[in-house]
A and B are shown apart, each in its own frame.
Chain A
Amino acid sequence: MTRAVLLRSAPALLVLLAALAGPWLAPHPVDEPVTAPFAEPGAQHVLGADALGRDVLSRVLTGGRDLLAAAAAVAVVVTGLAALLAALGAVRPRVRAVVEHVGDFLILIPSVLAILVIGTSFPGAGRLPVVLAAIVLGVPFAVRVASAAAGPLGSAGFVEVARARGDRPLAVACGEILPNLRTTLLALLGLRFVDAVYVVATAGFLQVGVQPPAPDWAVMIRENAEGILLNPWAVAAPGAAIAVLAVSTHVAFDLLLPQARNRTVSRL
């Protein structure tokens, strides 16, 4: 199990490492033209040049770190909040009901639209509004996943014992329920990371949170799309980085979710 998860997340880890070490590995400056616009790949420029003649390889190596940091922050905070709310909800049904209603409300607006509106409401604040909006909008859905695992624990023997001896709901949630959600929470962390990459990259593509001169995978795809027939690598390379990261993480952490393992039916 653990080995399968590690094997499947290996490509994502490679992209992650390249993105972290990239700024030091970049062979050319990222912000000045070094050759002709949309120059084809050559010995000097392995992936060719972008719309302004800047080196694509250097920009791809530099353009992932901020995006990944923002996505990781969203994933960690959302998972943490969801874990706490789900554990509390297992002890206190009212918390669960409130979260359900908020989730039903948020389903009415595509999270991308909401994040765009919030992100553009605070120009000049960088990625922070996008990150905050992604956290607020991501929590209700994450709570649903965590609640499905935490719900049955609410009536488990050891939880009833803890409550009978007078432990407070928060103490029961943190001390008795949370430790039993480890696998679900790890899966949730991975899946929320994939979702956060989606949201942050989509906002970046629409230039919300990052502006064009910055090297950023999503911005690169947008600004080089017009030259896709001249030098496809200028969009294919950042696109592949996002795709490999998202797919590999998703495929790996999806294994940890209980329903994916449930393949015992053998009839029909």
Chain B
Amino acid sequence: MAERVSARPPAAVLGRAVLWRAGLLVLRRAGLLLVLLAAVFLLVDLLPGDAARSTLDANASAGEVAARRARLGLDRPWFERFAHWLGGLCTGDLGVSARGRPVWEVVGPHLPNTLLLGGIVLALTAVAALGLGGLAVLRPGGRLDRAIDSGATVLLALPEFVLGTGLVVVFAFYSDLLPAVTTTSTGGGVHDAGMLVLPALALALPQIGWNTRIVRTALTEQLRAPHVDAAVLDGLPRRRVLLHHLLPGAVPPIATGLATSAGLVLGGAVTVETLFNYPGLGSVLTDALQNRDGPTVAGVVALAGLIITSTLVPADLLGRWARRFA
């Protein structure tokens, strides 16, 4: 034991090494995000059909189209436009939509609504998954464990929009308890908290299924560790073993699972927001896709990538931090 302690480098060096590795993790995620943004930009750029033409009348003259192209900056080479777009992104300027409005003006008012819905869904998912996963692992193989595992397996297979229509049939049609559509107040926000319940459930239930299984597997894996054996043999209460001996080692996979869910929730939000008429990023994207509005699509996808990266980085760091105790 004494040898191991003396073999460790001094604390200052260790601290710098930790910072350096954390920095590398962040840089790697940022690099991947940059590649993603370039890919999205190129793909949107290659869209057949031209933003200048699709927003003008079908009988607009060639001169009008050329003038519109020049105004939208479509006549410059793609890498120049990408650099310009990327520069604008850093200052919060997402460019001009095909309809000539700043993209931020179209996207901005909807962003808080999606962040609100997504935040509620992720919080719900974290609490439910940790609770159910913890309950399941208290008696592995028991009746409760099997029930939780089957329930999770069923939930995670359901597409959000199917679940959403099911919830509407049950809660809005048969029991009339909750509203089936969202109405917006004049400020662009959601009118009434009850309108968030069904969309949030439709998005959260599959994620709860997926994360409960991750929590359960991660905790079960930790059961095999020798220090858990020691704690059980010492006669510590089950709750204490679960919270203090199993959970810390299980943090990395759980954190990654939740961060991955953030991306899945954003993807599912597109259909759920359309189904419930919810004023969020998903409905902006649906409209933009129908209008072939490249700049707006790129803006929404860039925002989604940014949101996902900003949930993955803390998960990476938390995982690395937790591994020091494992």
Q: Main SS of the interface on chain B?
A: helix
A265, B286: Cβ atoms under 8 Å?
A: no
Closest residue of chain B to A112, judged by CB?
B267
Total contacting residues, chain B, CB less than 8 A? 68
Indicate if the CB atoms of B308 and A107 lie closer than 8 Å: yes
Q: Is the pair A265, B141 in contact by a Cβ cutoff of 8 Å?
A: yes
Give bound CA distance, A230 to B44, whole Å.
40
Question: Which chain B residue has the least Cβ–Cβ distance from A235?
Answer: B165
Contacts A109-B308, A246-B158 given; does A268 touch B297 at CB 8 Å: no
Interfacial residues of chain A within 90-145, with CB under 8 A of chain B in the complex: 104-105, 107-113, 116-118, 120-123
Q: A194's closest neighbor in chain B, by CB?
A: B157
Contacts of A251 in B (CB 8 A): 150, 153-154, 157
- Pairwise interchain contact A109-B169, C-beta atoms closer than 8 A: no
What string of 1s and 0s marks CB contacts (under 8 Å) between B12-50 and chain A?
000000000000000010001101100010011011110
Given contacts A112-B267, A221-B162, A263-B141, contact A268 B40 (CB under 8 A): no
Contact A116 B270 (CB under 8 A): yes
Give a binary string over A224-268; 1 marks a CB under 8 Å from any B CB, 0 the rest. 010011001001100100110011011100100001101101111
- State whether the Cβ of A38 lies closer than 8 Å to any Cβ in chain B: no
Which residues of chain A have C-beta atoms less than 8 A from B220's C-beta?
A: 262, 265
Q: Which of A26-34, A159-167, A197-205 interfaces with chain B?
A: A197-205
Q: Does A206 belong to the interface (CB within 8 Å)?
A: yes
A246 to B161, alpha carbons, bound, how many Å? 13
Set A113, A242, A259, A266: member contacting B266, Cβ < 8 A: A113
Question: How many A-B contacts are there with CB distance less than 8 Å?
Answer: 163
Complexed CA–CA distance, A228 and B276 (Å): 12
Size band of the interface chain A makes with B: 35 or more
Given the complex, which residues of B lie within 8 Å of A197, measured CB to CB?
Answer: 159
Give which listed residue, A108, A123, A235, A260, contacts B33 with CB less than 8 A.
Answer: A108
CB-defined interface of B300-326 with A at 8 Å, one 1/0 digit per residue? 010011001100100000000000000
CB distance from B171 to the nearest CB of A (A): 11
Residue in chain B with minimal CB distance to A262: B220
**Contact across chains for A113 and B47 when beta carbons are under 8 A apart:** no
| Residue A208 is within 8 A (CB to CB) of chain B in the complex | yes
Taking a contact as CB atoms under 8 Å apart, the answer to whether A113 and B141 are in contact is no
Cross-chain contact B43 with A268 (CB below 8 angstroms): no
B200 at the interface (CB under 8 A from A): no
Supposing A225-B275, A246-B159, A250-B156 touch, asked if A109 and B263 sit within 8 A by C-beta, the answer is yes
Contact of A228 among B47, B168, B263 (CB under 8 A): B168
List the B side residues contacting A104 at CB < 8 Å: 28, 32
B140 contacts A116, C-beta separation under 8 Å: no
Q: Which of B161, B217, B271, B312 contacts A107 (CB 8 A)?
A: B312
Min Cβ gap A240→B in Å is 8
Q: Are A229 and B271 in contact (CB under 8 A)?
A: no
Pairwise interchain contact A117-B44, C-beta atoms closer than 8 A: yes
Q: Which B residues touch A113, using CB under 8 A?
A: 266-267, 270, 285, 301, 304
Closest to B229 in A: A267
Residues in chain A near residue B274, CB distance under 8 A? 205-206, 222
Complex: A112 Cα to B267 Cα, angstroms: 5
Residues 133-163 of B, flagged 1 when their CB comes within 8 A of A and 0 if not, give 0000111110000000110011011111111
Cβ 8 A contact of B286, one of A105, A198, A206: A206
A–B Cβ pairs within 8 angstroms, 17 of them: A109-B36, A109-B263, A113-B301, A117-B301, A120-B47, A121-B44, A202-B267, A202-B270, A229-B173, A232-B173, A236-B165, A243-B162, A243-B166, A246-B159, A265-B223, A267-B140, A268-B138
Interface contacts beyond A107-B312, A109-B301, A236-B165: sample of 18 additional A-B pairs, CB < 8 Å, sorted by A: A105-B36, A109-B304, A109-B308, A113-B270, A121-B44, A121-B47, A194-B157, A202-B159, A202-B160, A225-B165, A228-B168, A235-B169, A242-B159, A250-B154, A250-B156, A265-B141, A265-B223, A268-B232
Complex A-B, nearest 6 residue pairs according to Cβ-Cβ distance, in ascending order: A110-B267, A112-B267, A250-B157, A246-B157, A265-B140, A120-B289
